[in-house]
Amino acid sequence: MDIYSINDERTLNVFIDNTVKPDRETLQRNNAMVDRLIHFLQNNIPGRLRPRRVIKSGSFGKGTAVRGKSDIDLILMLAEYNSVGKYTQDSRDLLQELKTYLTKYGEAQLEKVTKYSVQVKLTNGNFSQSVDVLLGIDLLDRGMVPDHVFDQMQGPDVDTHLYSVTLGPLQVEVMQALPTQVKDLIRIVKYWEDVKMKAVRNCKWPSSFAMELVVMHAWNNAGSPSTSFSMVRALHAVLTSLVNHRQFMATFPRQMKYSSVKLETCLQRRRPPYIMDPTNPFNDMYHGLFDTAWDWNDVATEASTWLRHPLFRGVTGTNSRW
C-alpha cells in the first residue's frame, strides 16, 4: 500500500501495526543477537577497553525503530577513563583494539571502522543486522551533572562528537519515556521520510533524531496527551509544522536535561528557526548535528502534498488538540 493511499484513521492504524512497527520475530532476534554481543563485550575485553556498562542506543534502544530499518548503536562506556581529554589521546588505538576483539566474535563480521565507531554485521542463520559500537566516557554515571559536562564542551579545540557519544544515555532516556502512541507517530513520520528520501537522488532530509524532535515538539504543543489520541490529527499537526518549518522555535522545557540558564545562554547566539536538542544545548537540530544542512523546503513540499490527500479532509485545529 502506498502511504498516500491511506484515507481513514482505522487504515492508518492498521498500516502502522502491520507495515511500520517492527514485527515481534525481528525484535526478538535483534534483542537476542545484541544481548549476546553485549555479554561478549562485558566479559571478554580487558584493559583499557573494559566496559563500565554498555548502553543500547539508536532507534532500537530508544524504541522508535521502523520495520526493516533498525538503527542499532551500542555505547561501550570505558571503565578506565574519567575524562574525554585523556580518551581523545588514545581513541585511534582504542578503536583498532576494539576492531581486533570484535573480529574474534563468531557472530560478527567487520564492516568498517570510522573515526568514532566500529561497525559490524551480526548474523544468525539467514538473519543479519548492522550494529555500530561506539566508545564513550561515563561522566554522567560517575556523578557529574549534565551542565558540568556542557561546560567542558566549550572551546575551539573540543571534539563535541565525543561528548555527544558520552551524552547518548540522555537521548535514550528522553525518547524511551514517551508514550507508546507517540513512538508510533514517530515511526510513521520516519517511514514516510524514508520512502520519500529514497525517491529523490542526493536528498538531504533531516536526520531521524531531528524528526523525532519535531514530533515531540508537536506533542508538547498539544498538551502532551498520554492517553489515546487521534493519530490522523496528530500526524496532521506534525505535517503542518513541517510546512511551516521556518517558524520553529522548539525548546523542550519538560524533557531537557540542562538548566534554563544554559538554554537561555545558548539561545542568545541563535535566531529562529531552531530545534534545540533537549540533551545537548549546543545542538540546534534544525541546522543539523554539527551544522549539516538539511533540505527543509523539500520536506515542506512533500508534507503539503500529503496534507492534500483524503486522509486529512476536514481536519483542522490540530496544533493544540489531538
| 8 A C-beta contact, residue 129 and residue 70 | yes
Tens digits of per-residue pLDDT, 40-85? 999 998 889 999 999 999 898 999 999 988 778 999 999 998 888 8
Residue 102 CB contacts under 8 Å (≥ 6 apart), including other chains: 108, 110, 118, 120, 133
The pLDDT assigned to 163 comes to 81
Residue 180 has a CB neighbour count (10 Å cut-off) of: 9
Instruction: Spell 223-240 as b/e; 16+ CB within 10 A means b.
Output: eeeeeebbbbbbbbbbbb
Tens digits of per-residue pLDDT, 213-222? 999 999 999 9
Mean pLDDT of 173-181: 95
Can you give the pTM of this predicted structure?
0.91
The residues that bridge with 211 in the sheet, in sequence order, are: none
| 8 A C-beta contact, residue 231 and residue 222 | no
For residue 155, name the pLDDT band (cuts at 50, 70, 90): low
Does domain 22-168 bear CATH number 3.30.460.10? yes
Indicate the average pLDDT of the chain: 90
The pLDDT assigned to 107 comes to 86
Q: What percent of the chain has pLDDT over 70?
A: 97
The pLDDT assigned to 34 comes to 92
Q: In terms of residues, how long is the chain?
A: 322
Among 1.10.1410.20, 2.40.160.40, 3.40.190.290, 3.20.20.80, name the CATH number for the domain at 176-312: 1.10.1410.20
All structural domains of the chain with their residue ranges: 22-168, 176-312
- 155, with CB counted inside 10 A (0-12, 13-18, 19+), is exposed
| 8 A C-beta contact, residue 75 and residue 168 | yes
